[in-house]
Amino acid sequence: MNLNLFNDVPDGLTQRARSFVSVHGVKVDVRHVEDHRQWWLERDVPASVIDRMAAYEERWGGLVLPPASRYDGGPRYLEADCPEGSESEGWWFEAGMQRCSVPYGFWIGPSGEFGIRSGQWVPLHATVEGWVESLALTDHASMWATQIIKLTGDDVDGIVLAGFEPVREVMGLADTWWRGADSLVAVYTGEAEALSFPRGRTALIYSGLDEWGLRGGVEDGTS
């Protein structure tokens, strides 16, 4: 497998995420969606779904990023594969292979959400960009915080978010980020929902942040 720098950073990301991808991202060779189009068409996968997969591959295919703090690191690299679904429910396709053995896969949902599927589909972020933004924010907050506290299970309910605002660029669904006066809070519920395991909920509180630590490459009013 060939490794190359990921020089063509997709647009639509904050400056913080663009810097994260350009500094830490590399690209590997992946299989081309178009090489399998006819095979999928013969198995009743709609052409529009294959078009979505091809667009995903063009934008994200082969991107390798540092491991996520949750989900055992997230996908090893981003690659479209294995479309599944129906006309009534919509269509999903794999977002990339797991880094290690986990009881779910990473998928792109019918409306472009990034999430996990086991017996249940749980969208984590409304877009792939949201997932990438969350990785960039984790990297940034980990570097600048003076203290990081981890809470799990029922302890997550004790977090008081009054006065916090949602970090909009992560486009959070099951997983959300919140910005306060001097701290960032990341709340992860994806595994708990997918596996019906409430104790799997996790929150990370990054405290002691100045204005740069709170935003880092995201201007007021754009996050």
If asked whether residues 14 and 71 sit together in one domain, one would say yes
- Specify the 3-state DSSP secondary structure of 49: helix
* Cα–Cα distance for residue pair 37/51, rounded to 1 Å: 9
User: From its phi and psi, is residue 220 left (phi > 0), alpha (psi between -120 and 50) or beta?
Assistant: beta
pLDDT digits (tens, 9 = 90+) for 138-183: 999 999 999 999 999 999 999 999 999 999 999 999 999 999 999 9
Q: List the one residue out of 44, 168, 38, 194 whose CA is nearest residue 116.
A: 194
H/E stretch holding 177 reads strand 175-179
Estimate to the nearest angstrom the gap between the alpha carbon of 167 and the chain centroid: 14
Residue 185: both structure tokens together: 């809070």
Residue 198 inside a domain? The answer is yes
* pLDDT score recorded for residue 7: 67
The answer on pLDDT for 221 being more than 70 is: no
Confidence class for position 223, pLDDT limits 50, 70, 90: very low
Residue 178: both structure tokens together: 């919140």
pLDDT band of 4, cuts 50, 70, 90:
low
Q: Answer whether residue 222 is part of any domain.
A: no
Residues 46 and 84 in one domain: yes
| Residue 19 identity (one-letter amino acid) | S
Q: What pLDDT, on a 0 to 100 scale, did the predictor assign at position 217?
A: 78
The 10s digit of each residue's pLDDT in 64-98 is 999 999 999 999 999 999 999 998 999 999 999 99
What's the angle, vertex CA 53, arms to CA 40 and CA 90, rounded to 5? 75
- In this predicted structure, what is the pLDDT of residue 219? 64
Task: Write out the two tokens for 20.
Answer: 């994260």
Question: In this structure, is residue 44 part of a structural domain?
Answer: yes
Q: Residue 179: phi, psi to the nearest 5?
A: -115, 125
| Domain final residue pick, 125, 153, 184 | 125
- For residue 210, give its domain range: 132-215
Tell me which of 76, 98, 125 is where a domain ends: 125
Q: Are residues 71 and 180 in the same domain?
A: no
How far apart are alpha carbons 16 and 179 in whole angstroms? 15
Is 216's pLDDT higher than 80?
Answer: yes
Rg (CA), the chain: 18
Q: 171-204 pLDDT, tens per residue? A: 999 999 999 999 999 999 999 999 999 999 999 9
**With bands split at pLDDT 50, 70 and 90, how would you rate the model's confidence at 1?**
low
pLDDT single digits (tens) 22-39 = 999 999 999 999 999 999
In this structure, are 92 and 115 located in the same domain? yes
Q: Which long-range contacts (CB under 8 A, 24 or more apart) does 27-34 make?
A: 27/3, 27/62, 27/63, 27/64, 28/1, 28/2, 28/3, 28/4, 28/62, 28/64, 28/77, 29/1, 29/2, 29/62, 30/57, 30/61, 30/62, 30/77, 30/79, 31/79, 31/81, 32/57, 33/57, 33/80
Residue at 14 is within a domain: yes
Same domain, 13 and 107: yes
